Amino acid sequence: MTPRDRIRYFFSSHRTGLSVCLLALFLLVYPAWVGNPYLLGISNLIAVYLIAVIGLNLFIGYAGQISLGHAAYLGLGAYGSALLTVHLGINPWLAMAATAVAVGLTAFLVAIPTLRLSGHYLAMATLGFNIVCYTVMMQWDRVTGGPSGLAGIPHLSLAGVAIDDETRFHYLAWGAAILVLTLGLNLARSSLGLALAAVAQNETAAASLGIQVHRAKIRIFVLSAVLASVAGSLFAHCYTFINPDSFTIFNSVELVTMVVIGGLGSIWGSLFGASLIILLPEFLHFFETFRDIIHGLIVVTVLILLPQGLVSGLKDLLRMRLLRKANNARN
Amino acid sequence: MLEIDGISKHFGGLPALEEVSFRCREGMTTALIGPNGAGKSTLINCIAGTLNPDAGAIRFTGRRIDDLPCHRRPYLGIARTFQNLALFPRLTVLENVLAGLTPEAEQSFVKSLLRLPATRHRERLLRLKAMAMLDNFGLADKARWPASVLSYGDKKRVEMARALVAGPRLLLLDEPVAGLNGAETARIAMEIRRLHGVGLTILLVEHDMDLVMTVSDHVVVLDGGRLIAAGAPQEIRTNPRVIEAYLGRMSVTA
Bridge-based pairing state of the strands B78-80 and B170-174: parallel
Does any CB of chain B come closer than 8 Å to the CB of residue A212? yes
Put simply, the answer to whether A205 touches B82 (Cβ < 8 Å) is yes
Task: Choose among B102, B149, B162: nearest Cβ to A195.
Answer: B102
Amino acid (one-letter) located at B217? D
CATH number among 3.40.50.1370, 3.90.1170.50, 3.40.50.300, 3.40.50.720, domain B2-77+168-253: 3.40.50.300
User: What does the domain layout of chain B look like in residue ranges?
Assistant: 2-77+168-253, 87-151
Task: Choose among B80, B90, B112: nearest Cβ to A201.
Answer: B90
In a domain, A259, yes or no: no
Q: How far is CA B80 from CA B106, B172, B201, B203, in A?
A: 22, 4, 12, 9
A213 burial level (CB within 10 Å; 0-12, 13-18, 19+): buried
Task: Choose among B50, B80, B95: nearest Cβ to A194.
Answer: B95
In a domain, A326, yes or no: no
Query: What's the CA gap between B16 and B45, in Å, rounded?
Result: 12
- Nearest residue in B to A185, CA atom: B113
pLDDT per residue of chain B (254 residues) written in tens, 0 to 9:
899 999 999 998 888 999 999 999 999 999 999 888 888 999 999 999 999 999 999 999 999 999 999 999 999 999 999 988 899 998 999 999 999 999 999 888 999 999 988 999 999 999 999 999 999 999 999 999 999 999 999 999 999 999 999 999 999 999 999 888 989 899 999 999 999 999 999 999 988 888 898 899 999 999 888 998 898 988 888 888 887 776 555 544 44
In a domain, A255, yes or no: no
pTM value is 0.91
ipTM field = 0.89
Q: A residues 108-147 near B, CB within 8 Å? A: none
In a domain, A331, yes or no: no
Query: What's the CA gap between B25 and B240, in Å, rounded?
Result: 25
Chain A residues lying within 8 Å of B99, measured CB to CB: 194-195, 198, 206, 209, 211
Put simply, the answer to whether B73 touches A308 (Cβ < 8 Å) is no
Put simply, the answer to whether A207 touches B71 (Cβ < 8 Å) is yes
In a domain, A134, yes or no: yes
Amino acid (one-letter) located at B223? D
Mean pLDDT within A103-127: 93
Residue pair B32/B239 in contact (Cβ under 8 Å)? The answer is no
Torsion angle of alpha carbons B204, B205, B207, B210, nearest 10°? 10
In a domain, A275, yes or no: no
Put simply, the answer to whether A204 touches B50 (Cβ < 8 Å) is yes
A190 to chain B nearest CA, in Å?
Answer: 6
Domain of residue A222: give its range.
33-247
In a domain, A199, yes or no: yes
Query: What's the CA gap between B232 and A23, in Å, rounded?
Result: 67
- Reported as a single tens digit per residue, the pLDDT across A184-233 is 999 999 999 999 999 999 999 999 999 999 999 999 999 999 999 999 99
Domain total of chain A: 1
In a domain, A7, yes or no: no
Residue pair B9/B54 in contact (Cβ under 8 Å)? The answer is yes
Chain A residues lying within 8 Å of B49, measured CB to CB: 207-208
Tell me which residue of B137, B169, B171 sits closest to B155, measured CA to CA. B137
